[in-house]
Amino acid sequence: MLLAIDIGNSSVSCGVFDLDECSGGHSSPILDFKITTKSISSDEYALLISNFLALKNIYPAPSSVYSRNTSDVGPNVSFIDRAAIASVVPALTDTLARAAELLSGQPPFIVGTGIKTELGIHIKNPQQLGADIVANAAAAAEISPTPLVILDVGTATTLTVVDKNKNILGTIIMPGLRVSLSALSGSAAQLNDVALRVPPVLIGRDSVESIQSGVLYGHILMIDGFIRNIREQYPELVASDKLSLISTGGLSDRITPYLRNKFTDCPALTLLGIAKLYILNRNRFH
């Protein structure tokens, strides 16, 4: 069993994959969950993760620090014996890597420069490309035909473009929904906390609806505009191929139902990509 960990600014997402099933192609995680990103120790992260795993009768590797006597956990159990990490929070990478090692009994594979991806990286400085973007593209290129655009709605909102030859052409990065809402509320003394949901009207009739319209519909119109302009400004990208659209991220469901461009939502996309990258590199890793 592989424990995949996606370290984000707001949350740490975890997924468990059966490597035998993954090796045969696309496979959904057996279990996936999120933990709020916190400044806690490796031991505390390991304990939190192991508690979630136990809900599905999954336990740390028998050789790990947190292992239990296998006779104590009952029948039909599974054990974590591999781990892989993608991180956009460098300060937490070592902490979660140690937690993953405590659970799996060996150092985790970490998504970074120099690994095999089956993707072309056509940007100015490949080292600046986020591990989550690489993982998203690796999974998306397996799930949907290329060319494609990946929408990731989280702390930041990103649009990543992959051409028909599986080359990452670049990424558009925008302030995320909560970042935009916090910035607006924090800079205007008369604005109270506003729920992050699409209002029933476009033109707000009070301050709450007005802010919701500006932040949510503003995001929706911006994304639709980017997709339109990508098609117009890069005609060679979609000259003879349909442009696939895939969405992911913890806040994607807030806006994708309202987009004119229809995205295929894949909440576990980053975790799927981490698992795929592990499989591509495990012979070199071990």
The catalytic residue positions are 132
| Distance (Å) of CA 152 to CA 27, 156, 160, 239, 252 | 20, 8, 8, 25, 7
| Distance (Å) of CA 191 to CA 43, 86, 245 | 41, 37, 35
Contact indicator for 120, 168 with CB cutoff of 8 Å: yes
DSSP state, residue 136: H
Report residue 209 as tokens.
């609806």
Chain-centroid distance of CA 228 in Å reads: 24
CA dist 225 and 215 (Å) reads 15
CA dist 217 and 58 (Å) reads 42
CA dist 82 and 100 (Å) reads 8
